[in-house]
Copies of this chain bind each other. A is one copy, B any other.
Amino acid sequence: MARFLKSKKEEIGLAPDALHFRGEKKSNKVLLTVIDYDSENLCEVSAENVEEVIHYKNSQTTTWVNVYGLHDEKVMQEISTGFELESIILSDVMDTHARPKLHEYDNCIYISLKMLQYNEKINFISSENLVIIIKQDIIISFQEKKGDIFEPLRERIRKSKRRIRTLGTDYLAFAIIDIVFDNYKYIISRIGDKIESLEERLLSKPTKSFLIDFDKYKREIIYLNKSIKPCRDMTLELMKMESEFLNDYLEVHLKELNENITHSIESAESYREILIDQLNIYHTTVSSSLNDIMKFLTVFSVIFIPLTFIAGVYGTNFDYLPELHFKYGYFMMWGVMIFSAISMIIYFKWKKWM
């Protein structure tokens, strides 16, 4: 299926609130984990059905429910009912191919993002959908499969008694997004590193493998751009949003997010431009090297062509061919040949072909 836009025929015309999973099933069972904390207490739970965690929604403490696996319509229905989310929201959650977006509902803020992973061996960026739903005192995040990208954040919650423990769900949401964005930067810096080393190789020994690499990097940069560019609009919208779920102290952090994503997009853009330059340089190098080859062939051919002709003339069997009977005819022939060759060499030196 096409990588940049996935769509199936049977999905055309579905109701917008139908709980239909769009994506590849990446985990077998649905798993729910909960971290519930305030500045003093912390409690972590892992469950496989919704009832076990549903009671956290009434706690005054900050609760982070993480759902791994989105394919199970029944579970989604339970979450929808349990956490009082409209079914259109869960329908969006289950569309893992959707464009990153932000929407403010009456009782929650919906944020969807792409979590990217860069496989350096095969130069391939894979993407997973992440949805964050911000409610009063509770954040529900949805991932396609279990991963460890948010482990550093959980560690900070467990160990630190600082801001992360005292501030509410909005700061937690910021911290989640911040990790995703930091990851973008890391991926771009890795891919950028490779592109820069490609550059060195390009000028020292340009080989055909460059084209394969160019193609891969260029495609991944396009994929990256497509995944992260919508995030800038999202952070700008978040900055302008006046929501009860977002406190004033968040402003500086949102601006930080916006700076970060802008930095990433601009860097990706720089690498895109560098790649295009590299292809142009490679193409010109190829043409230039053809010139060298042709010069060599031409010089060599043109020197020997007259010599071979002269030898051919004296190889003819005419009855009357006076030069053949000159005493030094053979040496005179060599003299003419050497003179011709030297003239040609001088001519090519002058033409700068040698």
A188: interface (CB < 8 Å): yes
> Using an 8 Å CB-CB cutoff, how does the interface string of A49-83 with B read, 1 for contact, 0 for none?
00000000000000000000000000000000000
Among B12, B208, B289, the residue within 8 A (CB) of A183 is B12
A263: interface (CB < 8 Å): yes
Q: For A339, what are the chain B residues with a Cβ–Cβ distance below 8 Å?
A: none
Inter-subunit contact B317/A311 (CB<8 Å): no
Q: For A274, what are the chain B residues with a Cβ–Cβ distance below 8 Å?
A: 219, 222
Inter-subunit contact B282/A179 (CB<8 Å): no
List the number of copies, as a whole number.
5
Q: For A324, what are the chain B residues with a Cβ–Cβ distance below 8 Å?
A: 316-319
What is the bound-complex CA distance between A203 and B212, given in angstroms?
Answer: 7
Among B264, B285, B290, B302, the residue within 8 A (CB) of A290 is B290
> Using an 8 Å CB-CB cutoff, how does the interface string of A150-189 with B read, 1 for contact, 0 for none?
1111001000101110000000000100110011011011
> Using an 8 Å CB-CB cutoff, how does the interface string of A310-354 with B read, 1 for contact, 0 for none?
011111111111111101111001000000000000000000010
In the complex, identify which listed stretch (A34-42, A121-129, A135-143, A190-198) lies at the interface while the others stay far away.
A190-198
Among B5, B163, B178, B262, the residue within 8 A (CB) of A192 is B5
Among B203, B229, B293, the residue within 8 A (CB) of A291 is B293
Among B8, B208, B266, B322, the residue within 8 A (CB) of A288 is B208
Inter-subunit contact A294/B300 (CB<8 Å): no
What is the bound-complex CA distance between A163 and B90, given in angstroms?
Answer: 16
A226: interface (CB < 8 Å): yes
Nearest neighbor of A233 in chain B, beta-carbon distance: B262
> Using an 8 Å CB-CB cutoff, how does the interface string of A238-268 with B read, 1 for contact, 0 for none?
0000000000000011011001101110110
Q: A182-B11, A308-B312, A311-B316 are in contact. Are A4 and B291 (CB under 8 A)?
A: no
Main secondary structure of the interface of A (DSSP, over half): helix
Nearest neighbor of A330 in chain B, beta-carbon distance: B318
Inter-subunit contact A16/B262 (CB<8 Å): no
A43: interface (CB < 8 Å): no
Interface residues on A, range: 35 or more
Inter-subunit contact A12/B330 (CB<8 Å): no
A98: interface (CB < 8 Å): yes
Inter-subunit contact A320/B330 (CB<8 Å): yes
A99: interface (CB < 8 Å): yes
Give the contacts of A72-117 with B (CB-CB under 8 A).
88, 92, 98-99, 101, 103, 105
Q: For A6, what are the chain B residues with a Cβ–Cβ distance below 8 Å?
A: 189
Q: For A46, what are the chain B residues with a Cβ–Cβ distance below 8 Å?
A: none
What is the bound-complex CA distance between A252 and B17, given in angstroms?
Answer: 11
What is the bound-complex CA distance between A105 and B223, given in angstroms?
Answer: 36
Q: For A214, what are the chain B residues with a Cβ–Cβ distance below 8 Å?
A: 281
What is the bound-complex CA distance between A315 and B4, given in angstroms?
Answer: 67
Inter-subunit contact A196/B103 (CB<8 Å): no
Interface pairs (8), CB distance under 8 Å: A5-B267, A6-B189, A15-B163, A88-B252, A279-B281, A290-B291, A294-B298, A319-B324
